[in-house]
Structure 1
Amino acid sequence: MDVFVSRSGGLAGLRLTWHVRVDEQPDADDWFLLIEQIPWNEMPPEPAEPDRFTWDIRCEAPQTDGATHPDGATQAAGATQAAAPAPPAAEVQEATLAERQLTGPWRRLVDRVQETAEPQRAAPGSGRT
């Protein structure tokens, strides 16, 4: 699973993006527990404010429908020979929060991502990195 956190806005309008590959972390189980606590469909009510930060949080988990083979290919149950496998679709959860909405598990996830990864900088208006 990949977790992306981007912070944009503020007076300078810079965008910082952090990216963590959860499966590569020594405490991946703790990461998954934290991510499960995120209320993706229930964001705290709070209007956006001028010159404050906005946080984009995205979790991508690869989905597989068949059995995974050692070479990384997937094969549906009962199939004898697989054609060139299509890349698995990713399950994506994402949310955009104003600075004051970043509370509870949202804040814990952002703090943990920031402690684990170095930020990548982007100029204002350049979109996601």
Structure 2
Amino acid sequence: MQRADEPTVRVTVVRSGGIAGLRRQWQACPDGEAAAEWSALIDRCPWDAPRSEPSGADRFCWRVSAEAGPVRREAELPDADVRGPWRALIDAVRAWPDVTPGAAGRTAPAS
């Protein structure tokens, strides 16, 4: 159970595009001690940095939404920009252990 003084953290990653144009979604909702680690992952991402122009056909586009306490952030990234801290955050969300398969990808179970 989450204490009132612990931040609520939720990160959602949506990948669209590619050859088939399919949309996949993943979500992580860490709490407790893990929330602080996730907040650090979120803070390392360059949310306000300019984005590259998408290049080439059939590339993925990534939308990352993050909530850490009262702070909400969102970014749309071309595949070429998914490196460094973005890659670390996206990979962590995709590897989040508390996920169940769903029609639109993997999402955290309702609790």
Compute the TM-score of the two structures, normalised by the length of structure 2. 0.73
Change (3 A) 1:121 1:96: farther
Cα deviation 1:79-127 (Å, max 9, x = unaligned): xxxxxxxxxxxx42000111111011000000000011456443xxxxx
Worse-matched range after superposition: 40-49 or 53-62: 40-49
Change (3 A) 1:119 1:95: farther
Contact 1:17 1:119 (8 Å CA) reproduced? no
Matched, 1:95 2:75: yes
Change (3 A) 1:119 1:96: farther
Paired residue for 1:59?
A: 66
Paired residue for 2:38?
A: 31
Unaligned runs of 5+ in 1: 64-90, 123-129
Compute the TM-score of the two structures, normalised by the length of structure 1. 0.64
Q: 3-state SS of the aligned residue for 2:31?
A: helix
Matched, 1:6 2:21: no
2-structure distance, mates of 1:37, 1:11? 31
Q: Post-superposition shift, 1:29?
A: 1.9
Change (3 A) 1:110 1:49: same
Q: Name which of 48, 52, 64 aligns with 1:45.
A: 52
How large is the RMSD of aligned CA atoms in angstroms? 2.2
2-structure distance, mates of 1:111, 1:58? 14
Q: Number of residues paired by the alignment?
A: 95
For 1:71-110, what aligned pairs fall within 5 Å after superposition? 91-110=71-90
Contact 2:60 2:78 (8 Å CA) reproduced? yes
Change (3 A) 1:35 1:23: same
Q: Post-superposition shift, 1:46?
A: 4.1
Cα deviation 1:48-74 (Å, max 9, x = unaligned): 4320110000012453xxxxxxxxxxx
Percentage identity across aligned positions?
A: 40
2-structure distance, mates of 1:27, 1:60? 14
